[in-house]
Amino acid sequence: MNQVMMQFFEWYYPNDGSLWNKVGTEVETFKELGIDTIWLPPAFKGVSGSSSEGYDVYDIYDLGEFDQKGTIRTKYGTREEYIAAIENLQKHKIRVLVDVVLNHMGGGDEKEKIMARKVDPENRNVFIEEPVEIEADTKFLFPGRNKKYSDFVWDYHCFTGIDHDTESGERGIYKIINEYGDTWEEVVGEEKGNFDYLMFSDIESRNPAVLDELKRWGKWYFETVRFDGVRLDALKHISPHFYNEWLSYMKTQVKPDLIVIGEFWTSGTVDVLEKYIEATGAAIQLFDAPLHYNFHTASIEGSNYDMRHIFGNSLVSRQPDLAITFVENHDTQPFQSLESPVDAWFKPLAYSLILLRQEGHPCVFYCDLYGTCYTHVNHEGEEKQAVMPKITALEKLLYARQKYAYGPQHDYFDDAHCVGWTREGANGQSGCVVLLSNAGEAVKTMHVGMQYAGKRFIDLLRDDAQAVYIDEAGNGEFGVGAESAAVWIANE
């Protein structure tokens, strides 16, 4: 069967500790829709406590167990509820990916006087001031946990950079000066000169003690939670050498069949993703961010967009086996720093493109399956509302992936506004015909195979579409409505 992953969270999920329990109530839905892998959000305690989405990491050993940062539970629930949710999913043969955030830590427990040097934020390889002593909250003791699970103390030797002087209040990007040099770690890509530093206290993986501690934590985390795989956050800001060693340890000493996917975010050329793949020996499947931006652009431009180029500059067109295809995620939602939403009218087209083709590994977003409405207060104190409606066609498209998206694929990307493809079916599984239009109604003659001669095809997405009969040569004249998708299947 065709596999499907789902991102089971969104940035603005309510801060009520209910997500872990909600997972358990949705198991039957996942099974019905053919979703066999669930990606869960970061489970550890963050700087902002019970309102933390998990990416502002404080204590990676606190999964909602200790009274730290003003709360025991995380935004999503308690440690016990988290473990129970994963066990329930796996009992129903649904794999679980946990979100691993090892780029930075915040909310240190004590301040330290350290030597640091400010860099140009647009080119972090350029120093703009001489070394100076600053104060930084870079010492982590985790008093609420009181050395349970680990007695490792993080201090400035464990970090490469910080974003402010806590004593003076002066902000900027400071390179911490320690025994690991006055340069950043080596990363893939030339954005910002060197984009090692992202936020908070940036972890220094060249420190052998840090690497050993993160290996110990990885083993502890697996033994505690028994996950099936990991989703690695912020790869753009982490040396590939670190993950080469960490993943080697995890696969040889902890879980040989560990599933590994990662986020290397880029809105530019796909070449940088291929450089990262080369640097890590193709050990990590990557989210196809360039394809997401194609969807975003196509949804905004409407009929001005040339659909023949929808897969241009995408990872799935270059290395389909390593591409995690997606329409949106928590970072692209309205009001987020990477805000780049895909308009609702285009989402059935986008999901058809990732769910019903041979190439890529599709990931469905929480908001598109359930819908959401939330408010956000901007820097001016204004309250803004965003509505992300449930995509009603999505369940039918997931059904089509389970039942009909099989066999050889024949492309018809021969028109700027109407593109499509056919799947012949294979091994007893039926095929389908997919047609997409970003303009007006359209009709296209397409070949489905002589095995369908005389068969009647219906549009799975439209009850009122007139049936199509396949001729002796295996061809049919298929239609699609304006600005919509059509999925034609054989109606026995």
Residues labelled as active-site residues = 233, 263
Under a CB-based contact definition with an 8 Å cutoff, are residues 246 and 218 in contact? yes
Residues 6+ apart with CB under 8 A from 108: 136, 137, 138, 139, 140, 154, 201
Radius of gyration of the chain (CA): 24
Distance of CA 56 to the CA centre of its chain: 17
Q: Report the C-alpha gap between 338 and 293 in whole angstroms.
A: 11
- Residue whose token pair is 């629930």: 77
Strand partners, 105: 201
Phi/psi for 466 (5° steps) reads: -70, 135
Q: Report the C-alpha gap between 264 and 276 in whole angstroms.
A: 8
Q: Report the C-alpha gap between 20 and 102 in whole angstroms.
A: 22
Residue-by-residue DSSP string for 258-277: -EEEE----SS-THHHHHHH
3-state secondary structure of 333: coil
- Residue whose token pair is 């990416």: 55
Using CA atoms, how far residue 440 sits from 113, 274, 486, in Å, is 65, 37, 13
Helical residues (DSSP H) of 302-365, grouped into ranges: 315-318, 347-355
Closest CA to 438 of 357, 356, 353, 349: 349
Q: What is the DSSP letter of 156?
A: G
Instruction: Work out the number of other CB atoms within 10 angstroms of the CB of residue 378.
Output: 9
Under a CB-based contact definition with an 8 Å cutoff, are residues 278 and 323 in contact? no
